[in-house]
Amino acid sequence: MAEEPTKTKTLQPVIILSQPQMGENIGATARVMRNFGLLELRIISPRDGWPNAKSTAMAAGAFNLMKPVRVFEDTATAIADLQQVFAVTARLRDMEKPVLSPDTAMEKIHAASNFGARSGLLFGPEASGLSNAEVTACDGILTYPVASDFASLNLAQAVGVAAFAWRNSTDIPGLYVDQNRAADNPLATKQELAAMLEHLEEELLQAKFFHPPEKALVMMQNLQNLFARAEPTAQEIRTLRGVIKALSHGRGKNK
């Protein structure tokens, strides 16, 4: 008889706020997260510092019922341990990224969870939104069906829509992580993908691939988007790094 898979509840997405400008918005975000059962909040370079008294007051006790808030200096560090991240933004960029509805994004989060992959939802600052570099680092764009003539949402409202979509999706029976499956073939983390891309860029520079040189940033963004769409596993990233190393040796480097 086949062994029954070891199962736990599906993994929650992490909410990540990039450079939030007001402590009140962070507190309101925590409150609406806890309303819908989300427990992990990360903050990147909050303008008014952390901890923040105004945030605590606005949260109405939510922080006491959640995991401790983690603060990071940059986006790369904040998402390093995650395997899948969606940029929540109303603006479409001139790049090849899947554009998802809230329901579709939650389906992908559940699907990745079945491989033990942790997901995150990245929200930008209130005034300017996410940068192109932050969107490039993500696997897709989550956008809402808001009115075209009035699309602006408050930060906590935007998080609330996603939190509700998550809560609504968890009402579907049978959404669990198969731990046996998750251990067999884990997806690469953002840190592993970033390290491979850095390795690749170094070798492409040595090979004088970027021509003209000012195109390097756009070309690397294109490659990053390509690999993000492929959803590589950790083993595949290791294989790619071996390929890059072998090619560099092939042209006479490090002999």
User: What was the pLDDT predicted at 178?
Assistant: 62
- 147: Cβ–Cβ under 8 A, 6 or more apart, which residues? none
> CATH classification of 188-250 is 1.10.8, yes or no?
yes
> In whole angstroms, how far apart are CA 217 and each of 200, 207, 227, 229?
13, 16, 16, 18
Give start-end residues of each CATH 3.40.1280.10 domain in the chain.
Answer: 7-180
Residue length of the chain: 255
**Which residue positions in the chain have pLDDT lower than 50?**
1-2, 255
- CATH value of 7-180 in 3.90.79.10, 3.40.1280.10, 1.10.3720.10, 3.40.50.10380: 3.40.1280.10
Give start-end residues of each CATH 1.10.8 domain in the chain.
Answer: 188-250
How many Cβ atoms from other residues are within 10 Å of residue 2's Cβ? Answer: 4
User: What was the pLDDT predicted at 252?
Assistant: 59
User: What was the pLDDT predicted at 181?
Assistant: 59
